[in-house]
Amino acid sequence: MPFLRKSLALLRQRCPRCLQGPIYRLWLTMHEQCPVCGMRYEREPGYFIGAMYVSYGMATILIGLIMYLLYLALPDWDLGILVLIATGIFIPFVPMATRYSRVIWMYFDHWAWPSTLSEDNGSVPGDAKK
């Protein structure tokens, strides 16, 4: 059941480590770290560049699917017009795609390169505060 729990947490946009803390504070404003376990969401400057690839893939699949459905419904229309209509239908979903692409990127990153608690909190093990 760990896969099911992680999938549900991803859909609910929760922290990839504790699966409880919300990632987003507002519609497009992220927390800097998990309110529950303290995991830093942005590990380094430019961290979410990888999320752009995820977003591009999501957009390509969704626009392609919309185009296919439009083509089935309107087979005599010009393909260029169908591309414009499909893109216009997709545009309202861009903020949602942005949110989910970041969450998917964070889950992938946490799976591929798990961090330690000290890395997530920004401290170095054995580093005493003066």
pLDDT(128) > 60: no
Residue 116 banded pLDDT, cuts 50, 70, 90:
low
Per the DSSP assignment, residues forming a β-bridge with 24 are: 30
pLDDT in tens, 56-82: 999 999 999 999 999 999 999 999 999
Q: Report the distance separating Cα 21 and Cα 13, nearest Å.
A: 9
CA-angle at 18, arms to 17 and 22, nearest 5°? 100
C-alpha closest to that of 41 among 26, 29, 53, 56 = 29
The answer to whether the Cα torsion of 113, 117, 122, 123 is positive or negative is negative
Q: Determine the average pLDDT of the residues in 92-104.
A: 94
Q: Report the distance separating Cα 129 and Cα 109, nearest Å.
A: 29
What is the reported pLDDT for 10? 93
Buried b (16+ CB within 10 A) or exposed e, 22-42: ebeeeeeebbebbeeeebbbe
Q: Determine the average pLDDT of the residues in 49-53.
A: 94
Percent of the chain with pLDDT over 70: 87
C-alpha closest to that of 90 among 113, 67, 107 = 67
What is the reported pLDDT for 130? 36
Mean pLDDT of the chain: 87
